[in-house]
């Protein structure tokens, strides 16, 4: 193992010991894939894990993991045998559940039993990064890796440290701002006390800001680009407006078409009365409809006049011919 990496691991484990109360030997819950990959890569975790953690450690498996390996049959037989040799960590499941669900149940949201987790599942490790104080191990190409402490972990450490300094700060206020006089009277320098308190408040605000930033980052992971989101919003509003304009134009079309059909179907009074109930939206269209219908009316009148003329001519012709026949 490289010296640099060993230093980082030592620092990380010191953090877990000092801030989260981890004790030796460390207890590492491993999952089925971790055992399987260790076998495939010819890593002996019994030897390798203490080397990485720089102290004694024991591996544990839950009954749900053993059940998973058993269910794999011949394929998982080697890993099944390896798992059987590890210490069993009891779990609340009467019948086996998904092993990751099982481990998540044990770690819960505080990892109060101080477990490390060895897993090849990125999803599971991502989940435990959200829980402060869960050291994570995985195997990368025959190398056992200890993940650096997660953001949730380091933030919790900062909070704890702040809480500690907060206590001493109260003492500082007492020490700095109060004086005991020779006659036994205690005098408090209020200005000084306020100063000390204010500096403490500033520190608290800074910590709060960091927390908010972390929360934002988490949200950001879900919605990668806030700018693009804004753009999308704009787009949706424009589309909605265009659709509304479309719909109004469609309404206009429908209105005008119904008006024109009305005018075509039955005669004179329709166009005059039709635009009256919709006064504001389509004055030009209504006017067009009126113009159209009046033109059509003229045409119809002309046609009717022509028809009448023809009929008259035909009748006259018939009359004339029949009169000629009669005369013959």
Residues at the interface with Zn ion (CB under 5 A): 62, 64, 91, 93, 102
Least distance to Zn ion from the beta carbon of 104, Å? 10
Q: In sequence order, what E strands does 51-146 have? A: 57-61, 87-88, 115-118, 136-140, 143-146
Give me the least distance between CB of 101 and Zn ion, in Å please.
8
Tell me the closest approach of the beta carbon of residue 64 to Zn ion, in angstroms: 3
Pairing of strands 143-146, 26-30: unpaired
Q: Which is nearer to Zn ion, 64 or 124 (CB)?
A: 64
Tokens of 302: 């002309």
Q: Which is nearer to Zn ion, 12 or 91 (CB)?
A: 91
Q: Which is nearer to Zn ion, 15 or 60 (CB)?
A: 60
CB of 135 to Zn ion, least distance (A): 21
Nearer to Zn ion, 44 or 101 (CB): 101
Query: How do 178-180 and 186-188 pair as beta strands?
Result: antiparallel
| C-alpha to C-alpha distance for 73 and 80, rounded to whole angstroms | 9
Residue 94 Cβ, how far from Zn ion at the closest point, in Å? 9
> Could you give the dihedral angle defined by the CA atoms of residues 44, 50, 51 and 55, in that order, rounded to the nearest 10 degrees?
-170
Q: Give the residue with the Cβ less far from Zn ion, 38 or 64.
A: 64
| Contact (Cβ atoms closer than 8 angstroms) between residue 211 and residue 132 | no
- In the block, tokens 């005991």 appear at 180
H-only helix segments in 266-282 = 269-273
Q: What's the alpha-carbon Rg for the chain, to the nearest Å?
A: 44
Angle among Cα 13, 17, 23 to the nearest 5 degrees reads 105
Residue located via tokens 């704890």: 160
For residues 99 and 173, which CB has a smaller minimum distance to Zn ion in the complex?
99
């Amino acid at each position: 193992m490289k010296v640099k990496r060993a230093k980082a691991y030592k620092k990380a484990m010191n953090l877990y010991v000092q801030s989260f109360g981890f004790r030796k030997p460390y207890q590492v819950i491993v999952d089925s894939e971790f055992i399987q990959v260790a076998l495939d890569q010819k890593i002996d975790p019994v030897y390798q894990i203490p080397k990485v953690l720089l102290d004694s450690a024991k591996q544990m498996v839950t009954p749900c993991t053993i059940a998973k390996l058993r269910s794999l049959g011949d394929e998982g037989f080697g890993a099944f045998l390896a798992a059987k040799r590890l210490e069993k960590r009891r779990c609340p499941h009467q019948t086996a559940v998904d092993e990751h669900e099982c481990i998540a149940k044990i770690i819960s949201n505080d990892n109060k039993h101080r477990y490390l987790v060895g897993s090849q599942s990125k999803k599971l490790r991502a989940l435990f990064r959200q829980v402060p104080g869960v050291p994570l191990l995985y195997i990368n190409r025959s190398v056992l890796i200890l993940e650096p402490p997660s953001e949730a972990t380091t933030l919790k450490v900062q909070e704890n440290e702040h809480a500690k300094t907060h206590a001493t700060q109260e003492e500082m206020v007492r020490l700095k701002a109060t004086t005991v006089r020779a006659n036994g009277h205690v005098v408090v320098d209020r200005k000084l006390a306020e100063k000390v308190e204010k500096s403490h408040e500033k520190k608290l605000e800074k910590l709060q800001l960091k927390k908010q930033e972390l929360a934002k980052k988490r949200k950001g992971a879900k919605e990668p680009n806030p700018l693009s989101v804004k753009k999308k919003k704009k787009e949706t509003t424009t589309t909605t407006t265009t659709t509304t304009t479309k719909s109004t134009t469609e309404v206009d079309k429908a209105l005008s078409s119904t008006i024109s059909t009305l005018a075509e179907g039955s005669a004179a009074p329709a166009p005059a009365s039709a635009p009256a109930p919709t006064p504001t939206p389509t004055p030009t269209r209504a006017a067009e409809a009126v113009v159209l219908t009046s033109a059509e009316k003229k045409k119809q009148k002309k046609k009717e006049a022509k028809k009448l003329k023809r009929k008259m001519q035909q009748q006259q012709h018939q009359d004339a011919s029949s009169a000629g026949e009669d005369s013959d």
